[in-house]
């Protein structure tokens, strides 16, 4: 799963646009040989500003990786990588 920072949609896989390095960086006239490359984009808005999401090991919901919390260092063995809700519900967040 992925999360688009631009349109805020979630999606399974980014769309792939084939191009060349030279065309992408607009240097094609200087180089006769083209180097192919794939650009991954949000399938909804075409933005390249998206990030992978991780599944919570307790509830199974997907969250952005930067929002996930690893409990390994909090208690011996931990209870896994948790979403913010499960982290709080397991007594790690201190409440609001």
> Tens digits of per-residue pLDDT, 65-74?
999 988 877 6
**Confidence class of residue 13 from pLDDT cuts 50, 70 and 90?**
very high
Alpha helices in 4-83 (DSSP H): 21-24
Question: Burial, 63: exposed, middle or buried (Cβ in 10 Å; 0-12, 13-18, 19+)?
Answer: buried
Pick the more confident residue, 45 or 95: 45
User: How confident is the model over 13-36, as a mean pLDDT?
Assistant: 80
The answer, yes or no, to whether residue 96 has pLDDT greater than 80, is no
For residue 42, how many other CB atoms are within 10 A of its CB? 22
Rounded-to-integer distance, Cα 46 and Cα 49, Å: 9
Give pTM, 2 decimals: 0.71
CA atoms within 13 A on the CB side of 88: 6
Helix (H, G, I), strand (E, B) or coil at 57: coil
pLDDT of residue 26: 75
Above pLDDT 70, what percent of the chain?
Answer: 85
């Amino acid at each position: 799963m992925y999360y688009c920072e631009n349109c805020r949609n979630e999606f399974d896989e980014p769309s792939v646009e084939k191009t060349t390095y030279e065309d992408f960086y607009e240097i094609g006239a200087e180089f006769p040989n083209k180097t192919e490359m794939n650009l991954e984009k949000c399938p909804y808005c075409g933005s390249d500003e998206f990030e992978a999401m991780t599944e919570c090991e307790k509830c199974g919901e997907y969250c952005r990786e930067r929002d996930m919390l690893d409990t390994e260092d909090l208690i011996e063995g931990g209870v896994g990588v948790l979403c913010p809700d499960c982290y709080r519900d397991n007594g790690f967040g201190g409440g609001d």
